[in-house]
Structures are given as structure tokens and as C-alpha cells.
């Protein structure tokens, strides 16, 4: 299926771990029920006047994007593609609250103009003065994967050589409280157990993870993005779906060295990931949401970890979900879903 190869050449992140966190030797900061990102210093890259009115998603996004570009040694990409599950939630909430409180009167537009889901991609374009392709996907837990699929299409069709792609999600106090009511996020008293969860919701966090994808392979490229599949609702066909992507790339299940699963300490989600895990007996299973927390584009953090492992060829202790140790690290499959919906499969290979 793949004509031109697509390599991961740069990575940039803001997460709930400090920027010094090195998963190959450090223990991650333990997850809480509600987690805030460790914001880097933004003032070197964003003027203070702008910074004051910038929501966390935009700041994190610009920072992570610039890091990824610097890592890839690129000044301007040929496309900017973001995925975000909830979009610019904080400014949406602020405008909404003001509108309700003030009974639709005396409103200022600042929060409204930063409320659209594409604001992060737009602000990065504005920052870089980048007039190229610009796109935003907002579809729950497969938002980042849709952005990846588009990036891959842009490169494969030779519309672009360098795509800046990322996942970003922020939180907002009232929406967060609603998510607890709507049973998406954990109550303060719920337990956190990624192996035997008993409560039915996950641990809220924020984050931005950006990447430079390119058809040009470098000495320092992390990994090759080989294929992506997204399925809305495979029901019992998840095995068929899995075999499809593997067959397409002439790989057997046994040849997958590590499977990354989006385990998120939610008892209702456990069975879906366990189902996938059961298809990979004797394969190393990895998890990552105990490090980055849960948000719609948390899988972009998993993507980051997988890319780093493929380059370094070391399988760190902190992300091992089972006791299997891979004999080699060549083929890595990332699997995610939520409540049986929005399944995604992303195949990464060493390069």
C-alpha cells in the first residue's frame, strides 16, 4: 500500500512529567486523579502580552511544535495538522460562562475567537508565518490518528515533504466537573489501578505531543510510520481489522515485537484492551497512560514513546505491562479505542 516512506524526524512534548523526565532511567511522577502539565518556560518563545491571554492548549501546542521542528532541524513545514478531542476547551468555557452570567450582553470576543478547534494549528501557522496546508481533526480518541493518516496521505501523494503533526488537549474546570458527572473522569475517591481497575473512569490530564514526519530519512530519524487504520465500530471484527493491517504490510502477529495499548485504569475499557492483548500471547505489551494521564490525544504520547524506543532499541521497565521482553525491537503496533468505538491501529517500524 505504501509508496513513499514516512519517517518520524522530530519530537516535541509538554506533559505532566517534567521536561527532564527520561523514561529510560527515571520513574515517572505518580498519576493523580486529576493531573496538570508541567509547563515549560514559554517566555523565550512567546511575547508576554500574547502569553497572558493564551490558553494552555495553545501554549503547549506552540512549544511542542517548535521543539519538534528544532529536533528535525526544519524551519517551516509543508503542512500543519493537529488532532484534538475537545479543542480549545478553556476559552470555550470562559465565553460560555460569561454569556450565561451576563445574559448574552456586554461580551468581549477574545475568548470566542480562540474557541474554535483549529486554533492551535492556526496559531502555529501564524507563529511560523506558514501558509501551507493546515488541518484539524477532532474526533475523540482517534483525533491524533486521523491527523496521522492525513499526514501520511500528504507525504505519500507527494504534496508535502515535511509535515508537522500533533495531538493536543487541555482541560477546563467546569467541563471537567461535567466529565465527572458524565462519568468520563475519576472522582477524588476512586482508586487508580491499571492492571485490575475497579472504578469506571480514567485520570484526567493535559498534554501536547508534536512530530515532524518526512519522506526524507535521516541518520537521526526515530522510526518509520508504516500504516494507520481507523475503525468506528468494529464490534467483534477487531481481529479481522488487525489482520488486515498486518497482511497489508506482510507481517504476522508473531512478528510484532511490542504492542502499545491505551490501558487507562477504567474498568469498562479494560475488556477491550484485554481482548486485543489476548491476540498477542507471548508478545511484550506496553502501556503509557500511567505516565501521561488520560485525554483524547494521549495516544500521541504513546506514539512518542514508541518512536523513542525504536530509535534507542531499549525497552524500559516503566512501560512494561506484562513480563514479556521483546527479542528485538523492529515492529511496534499501537492500539487504542474508547468504549468499543474509535479503534485505531498504528504500525511503526525501526529504520
Q: Which residues bind other proteins (CB under 8 A)?
A: 80, 85-87, 92, 95-97, 99-100, 103-105, 107-109, 112-119, 121-123, 125-126, 128-140, 142-143, 146, 150, 153, 156-157, 174-175, 177-179, 181-182, 184, 229-235, 237, 341-342
Beta strand spans in 249-340 (E): 258-261, 284-286, 331-338
Angle (nearest 5°) at CA 177 between 88 and 120? 10
Q: Which is nearer to other proteins, 11 or 298 (CB)?
A: 298
Q: Cα–Cα distance between 32 and 114 in angstroms, integer?
A: 29
Q: Which is nearer to other proteins, 108 or 196 (CB)?
A: 108
Q: Terminus-to-terminus CA distance in the chain, angstroms? A: 18
Nearer to other proteins, 226 or 229 (CB): 229
Are 58 and 123 in contact by the 8 Å Cβ rule? The answer is yes
Smaller CB separation from other proteins, 143 or 283: 143
> Could you give the CA distance from residue 26 to residue 61 in angstroms, rounded to a whole number?
25
CA distance 258 to 245: 16
Q: How far is the CB of 120 from other proteins (least distance, A)?
A: 9
Shortest CA distance to 74 belongs to which of 261, 233, 218? 218
Strand partners, 345: 229, 335
Cβ proximity to other proteins: between 238 and 321 the closer is 238
Amino acid at each position: 500500500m505504501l509508496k513513499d516512506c514516512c519517517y518520524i524526524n522530530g519530537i516535541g512534548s509538554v506533559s505532566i512529567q517534567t521536561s527532564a523526565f527520561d523514561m529510560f532511567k527515571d520513574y515517572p511522577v505518580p498519576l493523580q486523579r486529576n493531573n496538570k502539565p508541567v509547563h515549560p518556560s514559554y517566555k523565550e518563545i512567546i511575547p508576554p502580552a500574547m502569553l497572558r491571554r493564551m490558553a494552555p492548549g495553545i501554549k503547549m501546542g506552540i512549544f511542542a511544535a517548535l521543539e519538534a521542528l528544532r529536533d528535525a532541524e526544519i524551519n517551516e513545514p509543508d503542512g500543519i495538522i493537529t488532532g484534538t478531542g475537545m479543542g480549545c476547551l478553556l476559552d470555550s468555557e470562559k465565553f460560555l460562562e460569561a454569556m450565561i452570567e451576563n445574559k448574552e450582553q456586554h461580551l468581549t470576543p477574545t475568548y470566542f475567537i480562540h474557541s474554535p478547534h483549529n486554533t492551535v494549528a492556526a496559531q502555529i501557522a501564524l507563529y511560523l508565518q506558514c501558509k501551507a496546508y493546515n488541518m484539524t481533526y477532532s474526533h475523540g480518541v482517534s483525533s491524533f490518528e486521523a491527523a496521522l493518516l492525513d499526514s501520511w496521505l500528504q507525504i505519500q501523494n507527494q504534496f508535502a515533504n515535511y509535515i508537522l503533526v500533533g495531538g493536543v488537549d487541555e482541560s477546563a474546570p467546569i467541563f471537567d466537573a461535567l466529565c465527572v458527572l458524565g462519568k468520563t473522569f475519576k472522582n477524588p475517591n476512586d482508586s487508580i489501578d491499571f492492571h485490575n481497575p475497579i472504578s469506571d473512569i480514567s485520570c484526567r490530564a493535559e498534554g501536547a505531543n508534536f512530530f515532524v514526519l518526512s519522506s526524507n530519512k535521516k541518520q537521526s530519524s526515530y522510526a518509520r510510520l508504516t500504516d494507520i487504520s481507523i475503525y468506528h465500530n468494529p464490534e467483534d471484527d477487531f481481529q479481522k481489522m488487525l489482520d488486515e493491517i498486518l497482511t497489508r504490510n506482510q507481517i504476522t502477529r508473531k512478528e510484532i515485537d511490542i504492542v502499545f495499548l491505551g490501558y487507562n485504569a477504567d474498568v469498562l475499557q479494560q475488556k477491550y484492551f484485554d481482548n486485543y492483548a489476548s491476540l498477542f500471547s507471548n508478545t511484550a505489551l506496553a502501556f503509557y497512560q500511567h505516565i501521561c494521564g488520560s485525554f483524547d490525544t494521549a495516544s500521541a504520547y504513546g506514539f512518542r514513546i514508541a518512536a523513542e524506543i525504536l530509535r534507542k532499541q531499549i525497552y524500559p521497565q516503566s512501560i512494561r505491562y506484562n513480563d514479556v521482553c521483546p527479542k528485538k525491537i523492529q515492529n511496534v503496533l499501537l492500539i487504542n479505542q474508547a468504549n468499543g468505538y474509535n479503534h485505531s491501529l498504528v504500525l511503526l517500524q525501526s529504520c
